[in-house]
Structure 1
């Protein structure tokens, strides 16, 4: 399950190592960069009122969230400055991700500028140019190599109840949460496993 917090990096996209990250020349603040990403997605999708619900916007970082679900500007900068922006464009899920720069704000600004550039292709280019440009930003589904029982720590071949699943999910979510020393990838795997388990095990 893709979430705003903690950072949900898109599957199959390489990461920039800490030593390779650079200081950018962007002149922006965190709040301005965050709001500019939202504005660019609004312009790209044509969704303004109720935009985040309609376009499915998720701005994912390791910054804690405000009440409206967007990253909190006043929070302490995280060790991982990566940003991933997910939304739906013409019915297809897309993702723009950046961790090249040293700060979350600069990576947000880079994504905002990328979306703005693609909007330019839409305005001045041909339709096939736009479609070709967007292929590289398709959001891929998470791999499903491990079964949900394994991810949640339930014995293979068993028939757990909804109560068993809920209990296992709460335990594994606590164990893997990045704020408690866990791993972000494993945390998201637990979320996805829980959703799959609910689909397969009927409510009694």
Structure 2
């Protein structure tokens, strides 16, 4: 399940490094951006909206409009559209309200595709925004190691596992203990399945 607070960034979605975040030319306040986002998702036909940020929540579950400066200004939005889970995420700008406003503009543009009579393009565009599994959701060993369902040779799996170890080892730039633990667990599951 995706939580609204703290920020739950979609798995696999690249983050903008904090030093590359820029000041936007948007003039929208946080409260207006939040309300516009809710309205835009509603106009689209989205349901079960979750706005995930590092801003504490009001009692109704929405982020407070008055908050102190936070370290991570990213915004992730999750909702159901035509029975499918969708997610939008933005951390390009140095203010939460500006990232939220950028998502509003994106959804409005996609709604425009439908309004202008090219709805088949809208469905194709939404394919890229399909929500990735919620953080903490278990991924299959094939997904973690990066092999397709047709691979049955343990040697092929081992080779891909070793290649990924080189990328994700904690001693390497960009590597982490969590990624290595996930890889090791996935390889153990692969060995168990393929040795049978």
1:9 aligned partner: 9
| Deviation at residue 145 of structure 1 after TM alignment | 5.4
TM-score w.r.t. the length of structure 1 is: 0.65
Moved beyond 6 Å, runs of 4+: none
Q: Does 1:84 align with 2:40?
A: no
1:40 aligned partner: 40
When the two chains are superposed, the root-mean-square deviation of aligned CA atoms in Å is: 1.6
Any gaps of 5 or more consecutive residues in structure 2? 141-177, 179-196
Is contact 1:63–1:77 with CA below 8 Å preserved after alignment?
Answer: no
Residues in 2 aligned to 1:115 and 1:76: alpha-carbon distance in whole angstroms? 27
Larger-gyration structure (1/2): 2
Q: 2:138 aligns with which of 144, 156, 179?
A: 144
Is contact 1:77–1:104 with CA below 8 Å preserved after alignment?
Answer: no
1:106 aligned partner: 98
For residues 165-180 of structure 1, the aligned pairs below 5 Å read: none
Q: How many matched pairs?
A: 139
Residues in 1 aligned to 2:62 and 2:80: alpha-carbon distance in whole angstroms? 17
Q: Does 1:130 align with 2:110?
A: no
1:183 aligned partner: none
- DSSP-derived class of the 2:33 partner: helix
- DSSP-derived class of the 1:97 partner: strand
